[in-house]
């Protein structure tokens, strides 16, 4: 037995040989493959060449604008000059600690919720309390805090508020819509189908237009709802429609036997749904759920079109500053990096969670 | 006895000499020597992970071996693409999970390779296909899709699909392992019939009844090596190696 | 009363009704539907009251009124004297124009990158994955605004326009490329091209028939491509091989001649294509990976060559998996083209927005573009349902 497994493969050996073998198998297995490899190296090299020499080698990192005039590469002084505006928008600058606290609360809340140990009904309660706290931190008006109108909320703070609140409310709404669409009560089913299909059929921008232009007409004379809240509701309904279809797909994938087993044990509808079906169904749809959340995060940028002052809007305003007219590349790349980090982190987390749950439910 | 002597006079169809294979650093097959005569029926058995499937997958180059020679019909199986194509026409494989093409009807599954590899006209290919479907007793299902058949039926279609290529050798990779007990017999019956018609067969299987009934030779593999080979009576009644004894006691023990 | 019920004899009959399944279901439905109805009625009556108070006439009468605003680019003829209805039609055609070109480009690029991500070559996979991760994790609106800024601010002006190839001008006024000068030959070359495609199609049918009859394989793919190229070429020769071009030139105030792609259109097309490509690449990748490896193995062991395996076994199975999400991506691209409003490309939403601002007909404006998008979506999903029914694998 031992003599067979111990004999090494002829080409294998120390690390050098091993990596040579890896390269032969993955990069140079055939002449065509070798040509592709060389072509790829050329592409990567030319992209890196342009990028590195612009962003690092020829760039000026000083805080003063004057330095930029000689530099042929990026002018990072711009970001240095602007970052507070990008993070907080037009929020009064002496009160910047408040949006900072709000952002820390939102991100740490997200991070904590990602940990499976904290998953319990209390988490929902904690979130509701947290949202109220974030709201009052930003808006002020109590405990001696200066009131700040929502129109002044802006930058990354506003983006985070829209995204996190959107996720927190879209998910339960989506669940209701999905259950409704699978219900055997025809009227409820029809209502849910119409809501889901209408929101999925139109672009988000039209929903936002509806929230900003048409919504005021819906309300009786003298009553008005803040434009931020209207946009938020639009985003929630729009993404909930997509999420509902994701959830429904998961529920459809649960074998009939599970429903029958739950029925035969005498569980009622809600017990069956929340104890048996949903835990399995939601597990199945973690990747598409997370990509809906990622879409929601990216889509918050659309509020710029109806005049809200989120991260993208702040940047757009910033690059219109005549002093920095040519530095738009730096500005847009900088916020692209911010968006990228959030989205990439969410997609990695989704892959991790998917794997982790797979491991813990098999064997 | 006479049959044995006749076999040894026959031409070799497959010759394997000192063949070695690795998966990464894992040594799957060690110094395999094997000589398969025309019309010989060989059953290969052994514990799971012993390399028996890998061995027969090497014989039509679904896996590459790294050392040693495999010669099929006098043609060396190596990196030469033409040789591989020629050999694959003669050596067909039946898989554990059937691997029928789900988007084609049963009949189209059978006529595809004859048309595109052997360049037969469609009519001719269909006639051959129907002949073999009748032989595996499933002609009435010709226009259904694989997904509409039971496992046993699917495996019989897969056997017929291989037969349409008019192969010289047929390889069976655990053809009954994925089947329900009541379907095993219908597949084995087809295989026994094939054996009686003189097809050269290499069969990885745990069906010892089948081995006793049709095999000319039983090969026992363990840990990537051929541990013992003998004609069935000797192999089952009088195993020499301890590992063979242990394996037989486990598999026949109840 | 049957003996079964004797134990619950003392139970209040009202409770028995309350626990009745049908009764409950009816009550729930009345509650939900009634709620929705009341909400709708409330909103509609408020809206009507508000409109009356603001003195805005409801209805679609404004569509016939003169629009009195210009549209920078248009597929169909349009001037400011035309009606609002005509303006909206211009918006629809502009949306369809950018969407259809974007769909073609994104499909080509997405297929290439999708195949790259399942390549055996590690570096190629790496490039494919890096592209996907980068462009899909940045909001498409940001990408559009970025490309628009690059074109309008990063590129030089008219006088110093980039001239990478003779006759091609890239400046902050967009992309100008040379086109063939008007000549009757070109119409016939177009006809020849279509005839070539038809010819290739019939060749394919003939060669498949011959394959069935005789087993001889005819290289219909390469010969067919040859026909598609050769027929228009011959037509061109017959017409005396006109080579006169309409090359753009820099005039005092603008470019003259050539074909123009406006900065708005270029940025929109570029952004939408690069973004949607990442999703299409993922769709293609998962489609290819959805075909079990056993299928390739079985085909291999039957002696089929790898090009035939791809065409006969892998592609037909992968396409079933690919086409539904691919159509979804096409719809997404079309819907995302509405972001054009942010960079001033006159698509449907952008034109509706101008119309709403001028007429105050917000309800009608939003209703029009929502209806257009909804009907596109519904048509496509009807088609998809039909397709899925037709193509789904038959199983027991």
3-state secondary structure B25-57: CEEEEEEEEEEEECCCEEEEECCCCCCHHHHHH
Residue A115 or B48, more confident: B48
Closest residue of C to A212, CA-based? Answer: C362
Taking an 8 Å cut-off on Cβ atoms, the answer to whether A9 and B22 are in contact is yes
Residue B43 pLDDT level (bands cut at 50, 70, 90): very high
**Residue B183 vs residues B57, B139, B143: alpha-carbon distances, Å:** 25, 17, 21
Q: What is the mean pLDDT of residues A156-162?
A: 88
- What's the mean pLDDT in A151-165? 85
Distance from B183 to chain C by nearest Cα, in Å? 17
User: Can you give the pLDDT at residue C139?
Assistant: 93
Q: Between these two residues, C165 and A128, which has the higher pLDDT value?
A: A128
Greatest mean pLDDT range, C161-170, C328-337, C352-361: C328-337
Give the pLDDT of residue A111: 83
Q: Is the pLDDT of residue C61 over 80?
A: no
What would the pLDDT profile of A52-107 be if each residue is shown by its tens digit? 888 777 777 766 666 666 667 777 777 777 777 778 877 777 777 777 888 888 88
User: Which chain C residues touch B128 with a CB distance below 8 Å?
Assistant: none
pLDDT interval class at A1 (50, 70, 90): very low
CA dihedral A229, A234, A236, A239 (to 10 degrees): -160
Say yes or no for a CB contact (<8 Å) between B149 and C394: no
Q: What is the pLDDT of residue C249?
A: 77
Q: Binning pLDDT at 50, 70 and 90, where does residue A3 land?
A: very low
Indicate the range of A222-231, B27-36, B240-249 predicted with least confidence: A222-231
User: C28 and A325 in contact by Cβ < 8 A?
Assistant: no
pLDDT of residue B54: 92
Q: Which residues of B touch C295 (CB under 8 A)?
A: 99, 101
Of the candidates B66, B222, B224, the beta carbon closest to that of A9 is on B66
Of A80, A132, A82, A83, nearest to A106 by C-alpha is A132
**Cβ <8 Å between A12 and B26:** no
Mutate to test the interface with B, among C211, C215, C295, C315 (most CBs of B within 10 A): C215
Q: Cα separation of C15 and C13, whole Å? A: 5
Q: Spell out which residues of chain B touch residue C297, defining contact as CB-CB under 8 Å.
A: 62, 93, 95, 99
Q: Give the closest-approach CA distance of A251 to chain B in angstroms.
A: 24
Contact C215 B119 (CB under 8 A): yes
Q: How far apart are CA B151 and CA A244, in angstroms?
A: 37
Chain A residues touching B244 at Cβ < 8 A: none
Residues C90, C87: Cα–Cα separation, whole Å: 5
B157 — contact with chain C (CB < 8 Å)? no
- A-chain residue closest to B65, CA distance: A9
Q: Average per-residue pLDDT in chain C?
A: 83
Pairwise CA distance, residues A279 & C282, whole Å: 27
- Interior angle at CA A149, CA A143 and CA A154, nearest 5: 110
**Residue A5 banded pLDDT, cuts 50, 70, 90:** very low
Which residues of chain A does B66 touch, with a Cβ-Cβ cutoff of 8 Å?
9-10
Q: What is the pLDDT of residue B218?
A: 93
Average pLDDT over residues C110-129: 89
For residues C135 and C275, is the Cβ–Cβ distance under 8 A? Answer: yes
Query: Looking at the predicted structure, is the pLDDT value of residue C140 above 90?
Result: yes
Check if A206 contacts C (Cβ < 8 Å). yes
At residue C380 the predicted structure's pLDDT band, cuts being 50, 70 and 90, is confident
What ipTM was reported for this prediction? 0.85
Between helices A328-361 and C140-149, what is the axis angle to 10°? 160
Pairs of CB atoms within 8 A across B/C = 90
Q: Is A155 exposed, middle or buried (0-12, 13-18, 19+ CB in 10 A)?
A: buried
Does residue B5 have a pLDDT over 60? Answer: no
Q: How much of chain C exceeds pLDDT 70, in percent?
A: 94
Contacts of A125 (CB under 8 A, 6+ apart): none
Q: Specify the pLDDT at position C3.
A: 46
Q: Nearest C-alpha of chain B: how many angstroms from C322?
A: 15
Query: Nearest Cα to C299, choosing from C290, C288, C289, C308?
Result: C308
Q: Cβ neighbours of residue B166 under 8 Å, at least 6 residues apart? A: B118
The residue assigned the tokens 């060669």 is: C207
Residues of A numbered 9-28 whose beta carbons fall under 8 angstroms of chain B's beta carbons: which are they? 9-10, 12
pLDDT over threshold 90, residue C308: no
Please name the chains neighbouring B, where neighbouring means 3+ C-beta pairs under 8 angstroms.
A, C
pLDDT at residue C209 above 90? no
pLDDT of residue A14: 59
Does residue B95 sit in helix, strand or coil? coil
Tokens of C260: 């123009």
The residue ranking higher by pLDDT, C336 or C2, is C336
Q: Which of A184, A206, A219 sits opposite C349 (nearest CB)?
A: A206
Sign of torsion over alpha carbons C73, C76, C79, C83: negative
Residue A299: burial class (beta carbons within 10 Å; 0-12, 13-18, 19+): buried
**Which chains touch C (3+ CB pairs under 8 A)?**
A, B
Is any Cβ of chain A less than 8 angstroms from the Cβ of C356? yes
Pairing of strands B41-45, B26-37: unpaired
Q: How many CB atoms lie within 10 A of CB A218?
A: 19
Q: Which of C123, C393, C132, C106 is nearest to C269 (CA)?
A: C106
C278 pLDDT band, cuts 50/70/90, is very high
Q: Provide, as residue numbers in chain C, all residues whose Cβ is less than 8 Å from the Cβ of B125.
A: 215
**Range picked from A88-97, B228-237, C157-166 for highest mean pLDDT:** B228-237
Confidence check: pLDDT of C395 > 60? no
Give yes or no for A30 touching B (CB within 8 A): no
* Residue B250: both structure tokens together: 């486990």
Residue among C300, C301, C304, C315 with most chain B CBs within 10 A, to mutate: C301
Q: Tell me, yes or no, if C229 comes closer than 8 A to chain A by beta carbon.
A: no
Please tell me the predicted confidence (pLDDT) of residue B193: 92
**Average model confidence (pLDDT) for chain B?**
88
Give residue for tokens 């009686």.
Answer: B196
- CB of A348 less than 8 A from some CB of C: no
Q: What is the pLDDT of residue C276?
A: 95
Count how many pairs of residues, chain A against chain C, have C-beta atoms within 8 Å. 158
Given a cut of 80, whether residue A138 has pLDDT beyond it is no
With cut-offs at 50, 70 and 90, classify the pLDDT of residue C83.
confident
The stretches of chain B forming alpha helices (DSSP H) are 2-9, 52-59, 81-90, 106-116, 122-135, 151-163, 181-196, 208-214, 232-237, 242-252
Nearest-by-Cβ selection for B30 from A7, A10, A12? A7
Q: Does C393 touch chain B (CB under 8 A)?
A: yes
Mean pLDDT for chain A overall: 80
- Top residue of A38, A159, A163, A217 to mutate, by most chain C CBs within 10 Å, is A217
Which tens digit of pLDDT belongs to each residue from C248-273?
777 777 777 777 888 899 999 999 99
Packing angle, helices B181-196 and B151-163, rounded to 10: 20
Contact A336 C142 (CB under 8 A): yes
Q: What is the pLDDT, as a whole number, of residue C393?
A: 62
State the nearest Cα–Cα gap between A173 and chain C, in angstroms: 15
Mean pLDDT of the region C11-28: 74
Angle at C149 between CA C147 and CA C153, to 5 degrees: 130
DSSP label of A302: G
- What is the per-residue pLDDT for C392? 67
Residue A350 token pair: 């989704």
Whether residue B4 is predicted with pLDDT greater than 60 in this model: the reply is no
Distance (Å, rounded) from C-alpha B251 to C-alpha C129?
48
Is the pLDDT confidence value at C324 over 70?
yes
Report DSSP letters for A48-66, one per residue: HHHHHIIIIIT-B--SSSH
Over range A262-270, report the average pLDDT: 73
Angle ∠(B105,B109,B114) on CA atoms, nearest 5: 140
Assign residue B172 a region: left if phi > 0, alpha if psi is -120 to 50, beta otherwise? beta
């Amino acid at each position: 037995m031992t003599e067979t497994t111990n004999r090494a493969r002829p080409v294998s050996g120390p690390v050098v040989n091993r990596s040579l073998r890896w390269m032969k198998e993955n990069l140079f297995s055939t002449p065509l493959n070798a040509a592709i490899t060389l072509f790829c190296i050329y592409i990567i090299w030319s992209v890196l060449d342009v990028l590195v020499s612009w962003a690092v080698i020829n760039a000026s990192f000083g805080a003063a604008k004057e330095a930029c005039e000689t530099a042929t590469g990026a002018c990072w002084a711009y970001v240095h000059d602007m970052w507070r505006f990008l993070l907080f928008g037009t929020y009064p600058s002496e009160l910047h600690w408040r949006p900072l606290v709000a952002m820390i609360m939102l991100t740490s809340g997200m991070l904590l919720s990602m940990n499976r140990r904290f998953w319990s009904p209390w988490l929902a309660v904690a979130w509701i309390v947290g949202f109220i706290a974030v709201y009052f931190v930003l808006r002020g008006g109590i405990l001696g805090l200066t009131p700040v109108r929502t129109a002044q909320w802006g930058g990354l703070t506003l983006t985070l508020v829209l995204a996190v609140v959107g996720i927190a409310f879209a998910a339960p709404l989506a669940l209701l819509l999905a259950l409704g669409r699978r219900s055997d009560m025809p009227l409820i089913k029809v209502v849910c189908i119409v809501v889901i299909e209408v929101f999925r059929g139109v672009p988000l921008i039209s929903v936002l237009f509806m929230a900003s232009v048409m919504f005021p007409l819906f309300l009786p004379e003298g009553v008005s709802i803040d434009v931020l809240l209207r946009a938020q509701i639009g985003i929630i309904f729009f993404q909930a429609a997509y999420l509902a279809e994701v959830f429904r797909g998961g529920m459809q994938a649960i074998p009939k036997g599970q429903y029958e087993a739950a029925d035969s044990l005498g569980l009622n509808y809600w017990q069956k749904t929340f104890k048996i079906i949903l835990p399995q169904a939601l597990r199945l749809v973690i990747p598409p759920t997370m990509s809906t959340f990622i879409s929601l995060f990216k889509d918050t940028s659309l509020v710029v079109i109806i005049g809200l002052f989120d991260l993208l809007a702040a940047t757009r305003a910033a690059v219109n500053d005549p002093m920095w007219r040519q530095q738009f590349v730096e500005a847009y790349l900088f916020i692209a990096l911010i968006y990228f980090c959030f989205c990439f982190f969410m997609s990695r987390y989704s892959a991790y969670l998917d794997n982790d749950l797979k491991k813990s439910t098999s064997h | 006895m006479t049959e044995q002597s006749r076999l040894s006079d026959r031409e070799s169809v497959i010759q394997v000499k000192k063949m070695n294979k690795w998966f990464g650093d894992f040594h799957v097959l060690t110094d395999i020597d094997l000589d398969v005569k025309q019309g010989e029926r060989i059953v290969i058995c052994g514990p799971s992970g012993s390399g028996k499937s890998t061995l027969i997958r090497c014989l039509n180059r679904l896996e590459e071996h790294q050392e040693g020679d495999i010669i099929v019909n006098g043609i060396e199986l190596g990196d030469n693409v033409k040789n591989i194509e020629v050999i694959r026409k003669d050596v067909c494989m039946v898989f554990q999970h059937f691997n029928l093409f789900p988007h084609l009807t049963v009949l189209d599954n059978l006529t595809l390779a004859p048309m595109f590899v052997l360049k037969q006209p469609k009519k001719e290919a269909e006639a051959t296909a129907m002949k073999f479907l009748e032989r595996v007793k499933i002609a009435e299902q010709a226009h259904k899709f694989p997904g509409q058949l039971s496992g046993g039926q699917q495996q019989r279609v897969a056997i017929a699909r291989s037969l349409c290529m008019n192969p010289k050798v047929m390889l069976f990779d655990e053809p009954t392992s994925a089947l329900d007990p009541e379907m095993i017999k219908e597949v084995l019956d087809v295989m026994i019939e094939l054996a009686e018609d003189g097809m050269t067969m290499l069969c990885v299987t745990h069906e010892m009844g089948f081995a006793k009934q049709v095999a000319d030779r039983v090969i026992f593999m363990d840990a990537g090596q051929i541990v013992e080979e003998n004609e069935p009576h000797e192999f089952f009644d009088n195993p020499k190696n301890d590992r063979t004894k242990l394996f037989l006691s486990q598999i026949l023990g109840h | 009363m049957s003996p079964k019920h004797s134990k619950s004899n003392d139970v209040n009959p009202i409770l028995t009704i309350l626990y009745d399944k049908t009764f409950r279901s009816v009550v729930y439905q009345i509650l939900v539907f009634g709620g929705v109805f009341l909400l709708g009625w409330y909103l509609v009556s408020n809206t009507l009251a508000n409109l009356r108070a603001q003195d805005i006439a409801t209805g679609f009468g404004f569509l016939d009124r003169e629009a009195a605003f210009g549209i920078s680019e248009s597929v169909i003829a349009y001037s400011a004297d035309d009606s609002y209805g005509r303006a909206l039609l211009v918006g629809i055609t502009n949306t369809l124009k950018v969407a259809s070109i974007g769909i073609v480009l994104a499909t080509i690029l997405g297929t290439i990158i999708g195949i790259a991500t399942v390549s055996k070559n590690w570096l190629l996979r790496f490039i494919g994955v890096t592209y996907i991760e980068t462009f899909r994790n940045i909001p498409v609106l940001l990408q559009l605004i970025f490309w628009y800024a690059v074109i309008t601010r990063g590129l030089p002006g008219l006088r110093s326009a980039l001239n990478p190839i003779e006759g091609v001008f890239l400046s902050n006024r967009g992309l100008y490329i040379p086109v063939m000068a008007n000549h009757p030959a070109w119409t016939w070359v177009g006809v020849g091209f279509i005839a070539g495609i038809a010819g290739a199609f019939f060749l394919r049918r003939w060669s498949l028939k011959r394959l069935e009859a005789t087993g001889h394989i005819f290289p219909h793919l390469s010969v067919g491509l040859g026909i598609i190229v050769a027929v228009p070429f011959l037509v061109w020769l017959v017409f005396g091989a006109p080579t006169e071009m309409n090359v753009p030139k820099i005039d005092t105030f603008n470019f003259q001649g050539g074909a123009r792609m406006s900065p708005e259109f270029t940025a929109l097309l570029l952004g939408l294509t690069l973004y949607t490509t990442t999703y299409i690449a993922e769709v293609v990748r998962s489609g290819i990976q959805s075909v079990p490896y056993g299928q390739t193995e079985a085909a291999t062991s039957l002696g089929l060559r790898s090009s035939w395996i791809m065409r006969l076994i892998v592609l037909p199975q992968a396409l079933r998996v690919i086409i539904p999400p691919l159509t979804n991506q096409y719809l997404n691209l079309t819907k995302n083209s509405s972001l054009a409003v942010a960079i001033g490309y006159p698509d449907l939403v952008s034109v509706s927005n101008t119309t709403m601002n001028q007429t105050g007909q917000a309800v009608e404006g939003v209703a029009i573009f929502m209806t257009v998008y909804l009907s596109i979506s519904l048509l496509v999903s009807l088609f998809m349902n039909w397709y899925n029914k037709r193509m789904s694998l038959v199983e027991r």
